[in-house]
């Protein structure tokens, strides 16, 4: 339905003696709001991508923490072990 109307606009523009560039400027580029919406969408997606990347790095750092040989996240060596060695 919309395409038929666009083709009719082109026919009317040709009958009036307008060039294709003039017809396009009237039909498509008169309203700049889609450009603004597109830029806002790009900015929002960039922010989400940045946040996702940071979260992925944090999860990677959490999963690759140093682990001691026994599999614990903390050392089983205490100060008492050093006091006994003299």
pLDDT tens per residue, range 37-75:
888 999 999 999 999 999 998 888 777 666 666 556 666
If we measure between CA atoms, which residue out of 7, 41, 43, 44 comes closest to residue 27?
7
Domain segments of the chain: what residues? 1-30, 31-65
| The pLDDT of residue 63 | 73
Structure confidence by residue, pLDDT tens digits, 24-38: 777 665 555 677 788
- C-alpha gyration radius of the chain: 33
pLDDT beyond 60 at 85: no
**pTM of this prediction?**
0.40
């Amino acid at each position: 339905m919309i395409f038929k109307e666009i083709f009719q606009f082109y026919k009317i523009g040709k009958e009036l003696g307008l060039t294709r560039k003039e017809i396009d400027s009237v039909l498509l580029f008169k309203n700049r709001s889609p450009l603004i919406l597109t830029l806002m969408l790009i900015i929002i997606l960039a922010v989400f991508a940045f946040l996702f990347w940071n979260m992925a790095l944090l999860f990677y750092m959490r999963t690759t923490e140093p682990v001691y040989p026994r599999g614990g996240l903390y050392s089983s060596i205490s100060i008492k072990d050093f006091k006994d060695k003299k």
